[in-house]
């Protein structure tokens, strides 16, 4: 029923006073080491815990055809030992501290993190700085891990029609940009990687001058800086060459694909190329990004938003519908829509219903009430977000990794507040254009699921 | 901004149905000061003050999960889903608008044991007032209307249709059905395509009337309100609900006591595999020993035996896990994984060998490492209001002792290898487990 779909902002003016007076919201302290590694620290004394993360500026948007997914497999290999540590030992040490740890790979960054009691900060820094430059990447370990990644791909994508649809949708919406590729890589690329590929990728990108350290928790920024100098300061920088531009070609007409999948219900995805704070060439385009953010919240910020209110509840033409846009991507992104038609409604009717909402936005101004709701939600989200040190660290790391200021989130609501109804209408007209749309439709392949269970019972242990 | 970031976590262990609840505090550690009382109408209240952020979280859990469905499978989930859609004063759009315009968030969830509705709001007085006033009406004054019921039924059916072709869902549903037979836990929480046909608006209203009563509620409150305010809030939330009756206890399920193997032919690239049997209920005295052992076997991600054998040594899976899901009465114990069809039988063999080996013995180092992890990790488990709310809600709902968060780690610390082996060999019978494979296993 009433679930907020988004983790980030929506918000209210009338009742918003400055919340900042209530709690002193800790600011972020920034340092740069001599080897050009960035350090960001945010103090949060609510628990004797610290989140420690290292973010490398590399991900699937840095990759080329034939080598897709190499950033992701390298992330797996980072747990396979260094000159001083056996495979898996890193995780065991952190586990014994009572810590939790993991890593994730995205389009523009690869991040490694530990959450530990604050007394262990120096030790996790020592471990993380060691694997920044000293991993041992053997052929044998690599081949095993490559198999693990093929299983991961099967689990995430191959047996999930919705996962396949998204992948093929992205590959259609982006033709020349690396956003064409899935983060995990295409299966045939995965199968053909070699350990040497991963070693080269590591050498090329894993260096202090291509990394950001983020620490959030019960720490003093100066202490963190001193520790960072001690542990990370000794790592030598690498010459980092920016990836080739691979700019997305202009779209001159609608693109459309159909996927027949193992599903019982059709669904659609629609997307339009859109700028981001990073790609914006000037202030005017930056303003457009915030207008697009407001637009996306008005369509799908919460269950008062237009898609749910008009299409799910009132017209009942779709069982669910959503819109999504992330103005903090490093490359040109997509303003997206998704929908599952109601029972018996053909997908083209759901698509027409989305267009009807888009067209309203192009012709009529959004109401002041809608704008205020977007602001109220964003203000509140800003507070809620501080309940989790990890979420605070994730936001900081992802912003800085794509080249945005660390305080981007702190000024977010103020930027949204400047957006006018006219600007919202203007970006709807400019970007949600019928010649710029990519549509992907998933339809049932008509295969019946055979559920012929054969039950074999044994009285005893059948091993 | 950051919504739906597409990240690939390295070790996304599939989320367990029930987070293994943990723990604890140690002497020198920060502990959570939980206070508990009853409202005048007989609801249990759990409260923790947290003043650092100007926000408040409340969860109201009713003993009204799908175990209470009786013959109307899915009615509990449907009731929970319709809760708060409209009240006598506000239509559906107005309810949403009321919360959204002040940045308050409402959520609801339903499991086999419980149905809960929750709110997160800022504590600035005028905002909190509006949020709580409206939240109270969702609990006591929901109008279950025919048009909304019909629409949501259609949406539910689409969801159920979709689930019927997801191999993991097929596997889970088969597991519960086979392990629990005629027990109220046997059917899926959301019901089935066939069963929801029999749910009517009247049956839903009757369910609401019977189970959504003060005696059957546990209210958990965490955030920037003092005890006097918390008392007032709890009274207020129950003021218009009848006292009613607490739901009766559930019967204990019976184990199947013989090995059973079920293969469901499904056109997928992986086989979804589980090996399961009945486990234990919440509050069982052997829980600490079983819990520590499970972390060694497959509950702790990377250091666990299953992960080492099935993934690290052989590259057969991305994820393999084991867990106990203790509930009001015995929940399942299970080991789960998915692997390409061609290695399903090999994975099965490795899982069984690993389980058999573990039941015989494991190293003292492993035991110590897991204890260090569980005890040292305590502060991480209570470092946010959301996590604390999860714990106190569990403690309140299952009637665990108030000092559970201090008591459980002490239990963990005292567990010996003999305790673990004894408890595991008493509860887990490899020769009597249920094996389910969905896919085209070879």
B420 within 8 A of B294, measured Cβ to Cβ: no
Is residue A447 very low, low, confident or very high in pLDDT (cuts 50, 70, 90)?
confident
Residue with tokens 């590929």: A197
Instruction: Please indicate whether, in this complex, the C-beta atoms of A324 and B3 are within 8 angstroms of each other.
Output: yes
Q: SS3 of B179, please?
A: helix
Per-residue pLDDT, B30 = 57
CA distance A393 to A111: 11
**The sheet that has B55-62: what strands, in order across it?**
B35-38, B44-49, B217-223, B55-62, B115-122, B105-110
User: Residue A88: CA atoms inside 13 Å, Cβ hemisphere, count?
Assistant: 13
What is the four-CA torsion angle of B106, B206, B212, A320, rounded to 10 degrees? -10
The DSSP annotation for A335-358 comes to EEEEEEEPTT--HHHHHHHHHHHH
Token pair of B16 as six digits: 């367990």
Token pair of A307 as six digits: 């898609």
Instruction: Please indicate whether, in this complex, the C-beta atoms of A104 and B9 are within 8 angstroms of each other.
Output: yes
Instruction: Please indicate whether, in this complex, the C-beta atoms of A92 and B99 are within 8 angstroms of each other.
Output: no
Q: Are strands B434-439 and B270-278 parallel, antiparallel or unpaired?
A: antiparallel
Number of H helices and number of E strands within chain B?
15, 12
Is residue B1 very low, low, confident or very high in pLDDT (cuts 50, 70, 90)?
very low
Per-residue pLDDT, A450 = 58
Q: Greatest CA separation found in chain B?
A: 64
Q: What is the DSSP letter of B439?
A: E
Choose, from A75, A128, A145, A357, the residue flagged as catalytic: A75
CA distance B52 to A22: 9
Average pLDDT over residues A426-448: 95
Measured in residues, chain B has a length of: 442
B275 within 8 A of A462, measured Cβ to Cβ: no
Find the closest chain A residue to B267 by CA distance. Answer: A449
Per-residue pLDDT, A454 = 52
* Closest CA relative to residue B262, chosen from B427, B441, B430, B17: B441
Q: Are strands A211-217 and A38-43 parallel, antiparallel or unpaired?
A: parallel
User: Residue A359: CA atoms inside 13 Å, Cβ hemisphere, count?
Assistant: 7
Instruction: Please indicate whether, in this complex, the C-beta atoms of A452 and B264 are within 8 angstroms of each other.
Output: yes
Residue B227: count other Cβ atoms within 10 Å of its Cβ.
12
In Å, how far is B269's CA from the nearest CA of chain A? 6
Per-residue pLDDT, B283 = 94
A196 is catalytic: no
What does residue B368 show for φ and ψ, rounded to 5 degrees?
-65, -40
Cross-strand pairs, A114: A52, A101
Q: Is B55 on the interface with A (CB under 8 A)?
A: yes
Q: Do domains A33-231 and A255-454 have the same CATH topology?
A: yes
B151 CB neighbours in chain A (<8 A) are 313, 316
How high does pLDDT run on average in chain B? 92
Residues A44-73 as b/e (b if ≥16 CB within 10 A, e otherwise) read: bebbbbbbbbbbbbbbbbbbeeebbbbbbb
A327 within 8 A of A295, measured Cβ to Cβ: no
Q: Is B197 on the interface with A (CB under 8 A)?
A: no
pLDDT at A2 over 70: no
Q: Which of B52, B100, B352 sits opposite A46 (nearest CB)?
A: B52
Strands of B146-205, DSSP E:
none
Token pair of B328 as six digits: 């009001």
CA distance A427 to A292: 7
Question: How would you classify residue B269: left for phi > 0, otherwise alpha for psi between -120 and 50, otherwise beta?
Answer: alpha
CA distance readout (Å), A95 to A98, A104, B23, B29, B411: 5, 18, 16, 18, 19
pLDDT at B11 over 50: no
B118 within 8 A of B57, measured Cβ to Cβ: yes
A76 CB neighbours in chain B (<8 A) are 10
B219 within 8 A of B234, measured Cβ to Cβ: yes
The CATH number of B2-238, from 2.30.110.10, 1.10.10.10, 3.40.50.1980, 3.30.830.10, is 3.30.830.10
CA distance B325 to A355: 45
Is residue B167 very low, low, confident or very high in pLDDT (cuts 50, 70, 90)?
very high
Per-residue pLDDT, A7 = 32
* Closest CA relative to residue A66, chosen from A215, A155, A178: A178
Residue with tokens 């099965």: B348
B309 CB neighbours in chain A (<8 A) are none
Instruction: Please indicate whether, in this complex, the C-beta atoms of A154 and B270 are within 8 angstroms of each other.
Output: yes
CA distance A322 to A336: 8
Residue with tokens 């569990």: B394
B340 CB neighbours in chain A (<8 A) are 150-151, 154
pLDDT at A216 over 90: yes
Q: SS3 of A220, please?
A: coil
**Burial class (CB within 10 angstroms; exposed 0-12, middle 13-18, buried 19+) of B206:** middle
pLDDT at A92 over 60: yes
Residue with tokens 């791909």: A153
B110 within 8 A of B59, measured Cβ to Cβ: no
Per-residue pLDDT, B23 = 34
Question: How would you classify residue B302: left for phi > 0, otherwise alpha for psi between -120 and 50, otherwise beta?
Answer: alpha
CA distance A52 to A390: 9
Residue B23: count other Cβ atoms within 10 Å of its Cβ.
22
How many A/B residue pairs have CB atoms within 8 Å? 318
pLDDT at A256 over 50: yes
How high does pLDDT run on average in chain A? 91
* Closest CA relative to residue A131, chosen from A91, A96, A95, A100: A91
Rounded to the nearest angstrom, the gap between the alpha carbon of residue A179 and the centroid of all alpha carbons in its chain is 13
Average pLDDT over residues B307-329: 97
Instruction: Please indicate whether, in this complex, the C-beta atoms of B158 and A319 are within 8 angstroms of each other.
Output: yes
Average pLDDT over residues A220-249: 95
Q: Which residues contact B91 (CB under 8 A, 6 or more apart)?
A: none
CATH architecture of structural domain A33-231: 2-Layer Sandwich (3.30)
CA distance B167 to A158: 12
Cross-strand pairs, B328: none
Per-residue pLDDT, B131 = 98
Residues A142-159 as b/e (b if ≥16 CB within 10 A, e otherwise) read: bebbbbbbbbbbbbbbbb
Q: What is the pLDDT of residues B125-160, one digit of tens each?
A: 999 999 999 999 999 999 999 999 999 999 999 999
* Closest CA relative to residue A74, chosen from A127, A134, A137: A137
Q: What is the DSSP letter of B61?
A: E
Q: Are strands A211-217 and A437-444 parallel, antiparallel or unpaired?
A: unpaired
Q: What is the pLDDT of residues B330-370, one digit of tens each?
A: 999 999 999 999 999 999 999 999 999 999 999 999 999 99
A180 CB neighbours in chain B (<8 A) are none
Token pair of A160 as six digits: 């999930």
- Domain A255-454 in CATH 3.20.20.370: no
Find the closest chain A residue to B29 by CA distance. Answer: A48
What does residue A123 show for φ and ψ, rounded to 5 degrees?
-65, -45
Domain spans of chain A, in order of start? 33-231, 255-454
A52 within 8 A of A94, measured Cβ to Cβ: no
C-alpha angle B177-B182-B185 in degrees, rounded to nearest 5:
60
Is residue B19 very low, low, confident or very high in pLDDT (cuts 50, 70, 90)?
very low
Find the closest chain A residue to B83 by CA distance. Answer: A1
Q: Do domains B2-238 and B260-439 have the same CATH topology?
A: yes
Domain spans of chain B, in order of start? 2-238, 260-439
Q: Which fold has domain B260-439?
A: Cytochrome Bc1 Complex; Chain A, domain 1 (3.30.830)
CA distance A14 to B16: 42
Q: What is the pLDDT of residues B42-77, one digit of tens each?
A: 999 999 999 999 999 999 999 999 999 999 999 999
The DSSP annotation for A412-444 comes to HHHHHHT--HHHHHHHHHHHS-GGGEEEEEEEE
CA distance A130 to A83: 9
Q: Greatest CA separation found in chain A?
A: 75
Instruction: Please indicate whether, in this complex, the C-beta atoms of B312 and A144 are within 8 angstroms of each other.
Output: yes
CA distance A219 to A122: 11
CA distance readout (Å), A89 to A50, A101, A110, B294, B328: 21, 13, 21, 20, 38
* Closest CA relative to residue A221, chosen from A39, A64, A393: A39
CA distance readout (Å), B78 to A3, B65, B420: 15, 10, 41
């Amino acid at each position: 029923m009433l679930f907020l779909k988004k983790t980030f902002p929506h918000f209210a003016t009338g009742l918003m006073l400055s919340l900042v007076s209530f709690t002193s919201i800790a600011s972020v302290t920034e340092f740069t080491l001599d080897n050009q590694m960035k350090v960001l620290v945010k103090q949060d004394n609510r628990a004797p815990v610290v989140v420690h993360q290292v973010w490398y500026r590399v991900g699937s948007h840095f990759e080329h055809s034939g080598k897709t997914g190499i950033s992701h497999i390298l992330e797996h290999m980072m747990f396979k030992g260094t000159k001083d540590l056996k495979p898996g030992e890193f995780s065991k040490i952190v586990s014994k501290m009572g810590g939790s740890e993991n890593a994730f790979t995205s389009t523009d960054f690869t991040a490694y993190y530990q959450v530990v009691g604050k007394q262990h900060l120096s030790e996790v820094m020592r471990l993380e700085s060691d694997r920044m430059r000293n991993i041992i990447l053997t052929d044998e370990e690599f081949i095993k891990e490559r198999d693990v990644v093929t299983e991961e791909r099967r689990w995430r994508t191959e047996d999930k029609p919705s996962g396949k649809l998204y992948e093929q949708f992205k590959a259609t919406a982006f033709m020349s940009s690396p956003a064409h590729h899935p983060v995990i890589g295409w299966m045939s690329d995965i199968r053909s990687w070699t350990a040497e590929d991963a070693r080269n990728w590591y050498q090329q990108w894993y260096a202090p001058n291509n990394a950001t350290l983020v620490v959030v928790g019960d720490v003093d920024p100066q202490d963190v800086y001193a520790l960072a100098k001690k542990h990370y300061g000794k790592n030598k920088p690498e010459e980092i060459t920016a990836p080739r531009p691979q700019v997305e070609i202009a779209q001159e007409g609608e693109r459309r694909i159909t996927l027949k999948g193992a599903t019982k219900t059709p669904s659609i995805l629609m997307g339009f190329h859109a700028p981001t704070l990073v790609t914006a060439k000037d202030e005017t385009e930056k303003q457009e990004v915030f207008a697009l953010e407001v637009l996306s919240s008005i369509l799908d910020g919460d269950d008062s938003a237009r898609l749910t209110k008009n299409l799910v509840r009132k017209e009942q033409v779709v069982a669910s519908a959503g819109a999504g846009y992330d103005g903090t991507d490093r490359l040109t992104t997509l303003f997206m829509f998704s929908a599952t038609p109601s029972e018996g409604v053909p997908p083209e009717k759901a698509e027409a219903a989305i267009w009807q909402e888009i067209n309203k936005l192009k012709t009529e101004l959004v109401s002041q009430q809608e704008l205020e709701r977007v602001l109220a939600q964003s203000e509140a989200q800003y507070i809620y977000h501080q309940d989790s040190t990890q979420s605070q660290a994730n936001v900081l790391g992802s912003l800085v990794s794509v080249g945005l200021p660390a305080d981007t989130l702190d000024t977010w609501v103020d930027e949204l507040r400047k957006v006018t109804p006219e600007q919202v209408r203007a970006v709807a007209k400019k970007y949600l254009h019928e010649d710029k749309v990519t549509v992907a439709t998933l339809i049932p392949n008509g295969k019946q699921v055979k559920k012929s269970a054969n039950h074999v019972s044994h009285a005893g242990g059948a091993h | 901004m950051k919504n739906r970031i597409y990240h690939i976590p390295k070790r996304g262990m599939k989320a367990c149905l029930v987070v293994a609840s943990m723990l604890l505090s140690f002497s020198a550690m920060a502990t959570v000061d939980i206070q508990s009382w009853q409202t005048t109408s007989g609801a249990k209240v759990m409260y923790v003050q947290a003043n650092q952020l100007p926000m408040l979280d409340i969860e109201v859990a009713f003993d009204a999960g799908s175990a209470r469905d009786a013959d109307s499978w899915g009615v509990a989930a449907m009731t929970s889903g319709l809760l708060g859609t409209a009240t006598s004063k506000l239509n559906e759009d107005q309810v949403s608008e009321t919360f959204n315009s002040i940045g308050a968030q409402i959520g609801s969830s339903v499991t086999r044991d419980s149905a809960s509705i929750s709110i997160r709001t800022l504590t600035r007085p005028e905002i909190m007032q509006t949020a709580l006033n409206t939240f109270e009406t969702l609990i006591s004054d929901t109008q279950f209307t025919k048009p909304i019921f019909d629409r949501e039924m259609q949406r539910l059916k689409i969801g159920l249709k979709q689930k019927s072709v997801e191999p993991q869902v097929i596997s889970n549903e088969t597991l519960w059905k086979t392990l629990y037979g005629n027990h109220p836990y046997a059917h899926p929480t959301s019901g089935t395509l066939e069963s929801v046909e029999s749910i009517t608006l009247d049956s839903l209203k009757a369910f609401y009337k019977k189970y959504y009563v003060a005696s059957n509620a546990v209210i958990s409150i965490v955030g920037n309100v003092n005890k006097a305010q918390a008392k007032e809030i709890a009274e207020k939330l129950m003021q218009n609900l009848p006292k009613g009756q607490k739901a009766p206890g559930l019967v204990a399920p019976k184990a199947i006591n013989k090995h059973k193997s079920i293969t469901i032919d499904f056109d997928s690239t992986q086989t979804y595999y589980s090996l399961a049997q009945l486990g234990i209920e919440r509050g069982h005295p052997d829980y600490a020993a079983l819990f520590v052992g499970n972390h060694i076997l497959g509950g702790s991600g990377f250091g666990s035996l299953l992960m080492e054998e099935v993934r690290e040594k052989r590259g057969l899976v991305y994820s393999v896990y084991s867990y106990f899901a203790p509930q009001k009465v015995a929940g399942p114990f299970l080991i789960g994984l998915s692997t390409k069809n061609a290695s399903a039988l090999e994975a099965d063999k490795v899982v069984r060998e690993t389980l058999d080996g573990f039941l015989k013995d494991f190293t003292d180092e492993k035991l110590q490492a897991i204890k260090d992890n569980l005890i040292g990790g305590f502060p991480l488990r209570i470092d946010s209001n959301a996590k604390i709310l999860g714990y106190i809600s569990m403690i309140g709902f299952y009637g665990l002792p108030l000092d559970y968060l201090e008591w459980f780690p002490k239990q963990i610390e005292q567990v010996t290898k003999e305790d673990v082996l004894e408890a595991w060999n008493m509860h887990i019978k490899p020769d009597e487990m249920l094996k389910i494979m969905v896919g085209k296993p070879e």
